[in-house]
Structure 1
Amino acid sequence: MSVVNALKLSYRPAAAFVIIGLFWGCFAAYVPVIKAQLGASDALFGTLLLGSALGLVSAMWLAPRADRILGSRAMQVGAFVLAFAWLWPGQMTAPLLFAAAMGFVGLASGLLDVVMNARVSELEARHAKPLMNANHAMFSVAYAVGALVVGVTREAGIPPAPVFAGFGLVTLALLPLLRVDVTVVEAEEGYSGGYPSGIILLCGAIVLVAFMSEATVEAWSALHIERTLGGGAAEGALGPAMLGLTMAIGRFSGQAVAERFKEVNVVLIAALLSAVGAVIAALAPSPAVAYLGFGILGLGVSVIGPIGIALAGKLVAPHLRTEAISKAAVIGFSGFFLAPVAMGVLSEAFGLRVAFLGVAALLLSAVPLALTVKRRH
């Protein structure tokens, strides 16, 4: 199936992926400005980002219930709340208020994320086609667009708040697309299968590796280019933009690859490729070489998270699909809880080069996880 056909089948949840991507790309490129605005050290800024992680993890547990209550309007409500939440972090100068604002962002982002992934998984089951990579690719495209827009606005001296508000207006324009009828699946009569804790944990751990790596590069690549390598504001914004663009390419390609090869084998190759990219970025002597490293990392890591989520929905009974995706996402998005702290501490103690070498080691840990899934399933 072509990417175009995949997006035709899933264009409504794809619009939600675009919304989330725009906001997080905007935030990633504004990190140097927001960090300076707060007057925070690396370690403190990493700790403050725990606010978004706590919100995300809380949302993952609440999302299945919210999905049942909101039904066809769940994505609409999630997107509206997210647009409202992003109005505040860019205005904060007090660290505690910033952490609270990011907690609100994480809560809204997590709710929308679980619901939109569940809708894609339902469509995959209905059409018997892999759709997850194409939808996650739309996140990456939007993430890159958001970062590139901010490269222009930062050069023009525009502060974060009005740019976030502008992306909020884009969200409002897309809301009509986000209403989707929900497929309610009851347990089959006589179902006696045990609860699939093992596969959920394994898939969640794979997603955790991917999302920790993504979160680290998203939040710290601009600082690495500007501080370690002496780049300017526009050059710094190109770091997360390069990640987003290459992740989009990787996920669009992954859509075709997933139709021809076993998902676990794809994860194995992607983990090795992305680890090489992280090493190149860590040891880069110039911004241009760092872009190459972030690009290779993006190509590899792009498919790991979507495949982990897809496997969680595919390897459980249909009536457990949304719950399995939600719990795997809880584990995965805890990467947003762990990555800021780990990166901040490593950077404070050893510098960003060593911190990005840590990302390479993290990516390699996906190999034994994928082999365990392959052996058991």
Structure 2
Amino acid sequence: MTVLNALYISRRPVVAFVVVGVFWGCFAALVPVYKANLGVNDAVFGTLLLGSALGLVSSMFLAPRADKILGANSMRFGIVALSLAWFLPAQATVPVMFGLLMGAVGMASGLLDVVMNARVSELEAKYDRPLMNANHAMFSVAYGASALITGFAREAGLSPTYIVAGFACFCILLVPFMRMDVAVVDADEEAKAARYPLWPIVICGLITLSAFMTEATVEAWSALHIERTLGGGAKEGALGPAMLGFTMAFGRFSGQAVSERLSDVTVVIGGSIIAASGAILAALAGTPLVAQIGFGIFGLGVSVIGPIGISMVGHLVRPHLRTEAISRVAVIGFSGFFFAPMLMGLVSEAFGLRIAFLCVAGVILCAVPLVLIAARLPKIGAASTTAAA
């Protein structure tokens, strides 16, 4: 009942997490189609994906201000913007245009991501309990289901335009239920005058970066690894990101319960080791099934690391700085989407996808020393928060 209660408490942000998961899962399963339509090699395609990362990071710098302007309608605006933006890349056949249009996707996704994480952090402060893993689990459920549905839709001969349109209609229907009042935090003069908490943001951001950078790599390239390196079909390729999504969902639902009993340090260390093991298995796989199992193990381990990084900063900064701090951590974390596609493409072009996935294992293990440092920082973000009328 712990997980169900957490989902009920944060039911509106949960919907936003589902929307983001739906579109990125769809994209992961469509990567082989987009790449084939553009007619580019791995290095160029990886570079084109920088468009989404640039848009994502740019939007996250602006998200705190946009959140103040939009207020209770922030998540509504983000869902509509993301639904409309995803139509654009499906129409692109020119590589440069594809990169630019992915920038628009990144901006919409970045805005919604910061806002929904900020709303969850506010609820964590209000109810004094962890909620982040349960919300990120719903992203993973939606991601896996979307990737699987997209794989079957591809097998049936549907074009990316029709597939994206179906998901967009579903998401826009959820908009009327997404109004959520923003928490009001009364900061005293001493709190306002305090120094900006740089190190908590940097350390938590790097923890999130290690998780999201490797997660983005597997999301974008797992289907291609299965289809090209191991000779799998479209449905087998789609099972790569689908396995990632479903095991991440299981890991995050379990992490929601585990995080109430074990320390963040223990969970992150365990998750890093499990994720690295899965990445190595996928890299060395000889069949699509073994690779799918490897991606599933990776998803199980990596699932809890990013949410813990975001959640930790909410406890390490003063309440009136929470949204801004989360946006900064998100900028650092989601810069993984900036580096991962390009680096994966370059490594794959030079050494092959197997070596690239071995690099993923090394990156995720970087979270271990970082969480040990973060655990030594004082928690100052437990001040009371009240909901706006």
TM-score bracket, normalised by the shorter chain, equals over 0.9
Q: Please give the secondary structure, in 2, of the residue aligned with 1:87.
A: coil
Residue 114 of structure 1: aligned partner: 114
Superimposed CA distance per residue, residues 231-276 of structure 1 (whole angstroms, 9 cap, x where no aligned partner)? 0011000000000000000000000011011112211111111001
Equivalent position amino acid for 2:358 in 1: L
Equivalent position amino acid for 2:258 in 1: V
Root-mean-square deviation (CA, aligned residues, Å) is 0.9
Residue 359 of structure 2: aligned partner: 358
Residue 229 of structure 2: aligned partner: 228
Residue 338 of structure 2: aligned partner: 337
Q: Please give the secondary structure, in 2, of the residue aligned with 1:190.
A: helix
- The ranges of structure 1 where at least 4 consecutive aligned residues each deviate by more than 6 angstroms after the TM superposition are none
Contact 2:316–2:377 (Cα < 8 Å) also in 1: no
Q: Please give the secondary structure, in 2, of the residue aligned with 1:375.
A: coil
Identical residues among aligned pairs (%): 65
Residue 93 of structure 1: aligned partner: 93
> How far did 1:19 drift?
0.4
Residue 267 of structure 1: aligned partner: 268
Count, aligned residues? 377
> How far did 1:151 drift?
1.1
Equivalent-residue separation in structure 1 for 2:100 and 2:11 (angstroms): 33
Equivalent position amino acid for 1:182 in 2: V
> How far did 1:376 drift?
3.6
Q: TM-score, normalised by structure 2?
A: 0.96
> How far did 1:194 drift?
2.2
Superimposed CA distance per residue, residues 70-92 of structure 1 (whole angstroms, 9 cap, x where no aligned partner)? 00000000110000000111121
Q: Please give the secondary structure, in 1, of the residue aligned with 2:327.
A: helix
Q: TM-score, normalised by structure 1?
A: 0.99
Equivalent-residue separation in structure 2 for 1:327 and 1:265 (angstroms): 25
Q: Please give the secondary structure, in 1, of the residue aligned with 2:260.
A: helix
1:159-198 matched pairs, under 5 angstroms? 159-191=159-191, 192-198=193-199
Contact 2:155–2:235 (Cα < 8 Å) also in 1: yes
Confirm whether residue 214 of structure 1 aligns to residue 176 of structure 2.
Answer: no
Equivalent position amino acid for 1:229 in 2: L
Equivalent-residue separation in structure 2 for 1:179 and 1:21 (angstroms): 19
1:1-377 matched pairs, under 5 angstroms? 2-191=2-191, 192-377=193-378
Q: Please give the secondary structure, in 2, of the residue aligned with 1:259.
A: coil
> How far did 1:219 drift?
0.3
Superimposed CA distance per residue, residues 104-141 of structure 1 (whole angstroms, 9 cap, x where no aligned partner)? 00000000000000000001111111110000000000
Gaps of 5+ in 2: 379-389
Residue 383 of structure 2: aligned partner: none
Superimposed CA distance per residue, residues 43-96 of structure 1 (whole angstroms, 9 cap, x where no aligned partner)? 000000000000000011000000000000000001100000001111210001
Equivalent-residue separation in structure 1 for 2:190 and 2:372 (angstroms): 32
Q: Pick which of 168-177 and 203-212 moved more.
A: 168-177
Equivalent-residue separation in structure 2 for 1:175 and 1:64 (angstroms): 21
> How far did 1:178 drift?
1.2
Equivalent position amino acid for 2:148 in 1: L
Equivalent position amino acid for 1:178 in 2: M
Equivalent-residue separation in structure 2 for 1:354 and 1:164 (angstroms): 32
Equivalent-residue separation in structure 2 for 1:145 and 1:293 (angstroms): 18
Q: Please give the secondary structure, in 2, of the residue aligned with 1:129.
A: coil
Q: Please give the secondary structure, in 2, of the residue aligned with 1:260.
A: coil
Equivalent position amino acid for 1:132 in 2: M
Gaps of 5+ in 1: none
> How far did 1:283 drift?
0.3
Equivalent-residue separation in structure 2 for 1:259 and 1:142 (angstroms): 24
Equivalent position amino acid for 1:63 in 2: A
